[in-house]
A and B are shown apart, each in its own frame.
Chain A
Amino acid sequence: MRDVAIASFAQTKYVRNQIHETEVDMLIPITREAIERSGIPKPEIGFTCHGSSDYMAGQSFAFVGAVDALGAFPPIAESHVEMDGAWALYEAWVKIQCGEVDSALVFGFGRASMGKLRETMNLQLDPYTMGPLGLDAISMAALQARALLDAGKISEEQMAEIAVRNRRVAKDNPVAQVTGDFEVAKLLAEPYIVSPLRKHDCPPISDGVSAVVLAAGDAIGRGDSKPVFIRGIDHRIDSHQLGSRDLTVSPSTKLAGEKAGVHAGPVEFAELHAPFSHQEPILCEALGLEEGVLINPSGGALAANPMMTAGLTRIGEAASHIAAGRAGRGIAHATSGPCLQQNLVCVLEGE
């Protein structure tokens, strides 16, 4: 495998409702910042790939407009995944493995505020057997949380502690959306949204974009920060049918972690894409993360959850954490689908 480094990372501040700018307005400065900070001149970027969703934007071919932000003339080698930007990064990484290119711009964007996210996510379910039941995103997550509680694997108090910790550390993250010092006891006094989930257990609705530049070969080490290397990356999927899964575990995360080589070295920290509080311990267990491993130095998805790029943002945040010298080796994770159906694990290491 070729050594591939994350050369730069850029992101917007995440907000509840970005009514002042279009997606392209947001993408122009962020993609430009990522390219400039990578030190790779734009015409030399060999490949571009991004992740987004038509249903998030409320129109067919919504991704086409993103090309307008890139200055794609002369034309560029470019692709798009109807997945989180983390998978766009995977496609770019594969392209680099083929030896065809030495660098790639990867980004993701979503403006969940445009539609009614809770209901939009119902359209992601099996249209014959599950969709017609009318399950919304929070209800599905609540089923999973209930399964964990019933199995005695977590308590509502622990769920609140997870939310408190993520939002406390997010105070140091200038782009985070929901931050602050909260008290577990007060949170537990709040009403349920969908039992057993309270507001603090759920992610905010976030608008924003994030971008990463990958580099290999001579393109490595030209940027304004230290390169952070992808030592392993893998993604796996579980069954879609909630009824046929043990919702208290994540076999696809476990397998992806093994294939990516999570434990080939010490894991100092992890950026986990756990939109709901109870999903963090499921992922920690699947990845074999012991106590003491720092989880979500950025505040994670509970502090900002830009749909279609929250996973890519985890990779970018993890790389930034290492590039800043705060750790030597860590992992980033991205998820997609109801109740952690599909998962990607990326192992990152400094020089």
Chain B
Amino acid sequence: MSDSDRIESIVTPTRTEYDYTPGPSAQRSLRALAEGRLIGETCPSCNQVYYPPSGTCARCGVATEGEVEIADKGTVTTYAIVRVPSDNIDLELPYCTAHILLDGSDIPFFGLIQECVWDEVRIGMRVEAVWLPESEWGPGAENIKYFRPTGEPDVPFEQFKEHI
């Protein structure tokens, strides 16, 4: 068999579809987002507040409860500047992803930072949400386009070092 006859690979296209279930906590949070509100939940065991709520405090392994209003402002606890493209992300390079500890929440979440010079992003920086126009709101995290610096003084590392 000559080299040109060799079969090195075959392509078998497959397609599978899945229906995802957000669960009751995420549903409540998504519905609140459609109204422009951030709703977190509290762990009845350790009293920590989770946003976005998955329905569980993974530390305690118990269902979270209640509704806690979370601010759309927070503190950058750590960050990265992404300079490489990714299949699933449609953003102009570079862009900044950060762990943001929202005021009222006890756990940082991954958020996008824009409207600033990359060299000026820093740990402890205060940021606020920039929302889509209200007419475009739906039940999804995409309602918040990104976060931008507020210009408030930085928060000292000591105050959030347990939350990075």
Contacts and interface: CB of A to CB of B under 8 A. Distances in A.
Q: Size range of the interface on B?
A: 20 to 34
B7 to A, nearest CB: 10
B56 A68 contact: yes
Given A20-B21, A21-B23, A25-B23, A72 B58 contact: yes
B144 to A, nearest CB: 23
Contacts of A120: 16
A81 interface: no
A22 interface: yes
A72 to B, nearest CB: 7
A127 B23 CA distance: 34
A99 interface: no
B55 interface: yes
Nearest to B45: A71
Interface in B35-65: 54-56, 58-63
A28 interface: yes
Interface string A296-309: 00000000000000
A115 interface: yes
Contacts of A28: 56, 61-63
A231 to B, nearest CB: 33
B19 interface: yes
Interface in A102-135: 111, 113-116, 119-120, 122-123, 127-128, 131-132
Contacts of B10: 128, 132
A61 interface: no
B22 interface: yes
Interface residues of A, number: 33
A21 B24 contact: yes
Interface in A122-163: 122-123, 127-128, 131-132
Interface in A36-58: 55, 57-58
A189 interface: no
Contacts of A122: 14
B35 to A, nearest CB: 22
Interface in B83-126: none
A184 interface: no
B2 to A, nearest CB: 21
Interface of B: 10, 12, 14, 16-24, 26, 54-56, 58-63
The 5 closest A-B pairs by CB, nearest first: A71-B61, A58-B18, A22-B23, A68-B58, A73-B59
Interface of A: 18-22, 24-25, 28, 31-32, 55, 57-58, 67-73, 111, 113-116, 119-120, 122-123, 127-128, 131-132
6 contacts: A22-B21, A24-B23, A55-B16, A68-B56, A113-B19, A127-B12
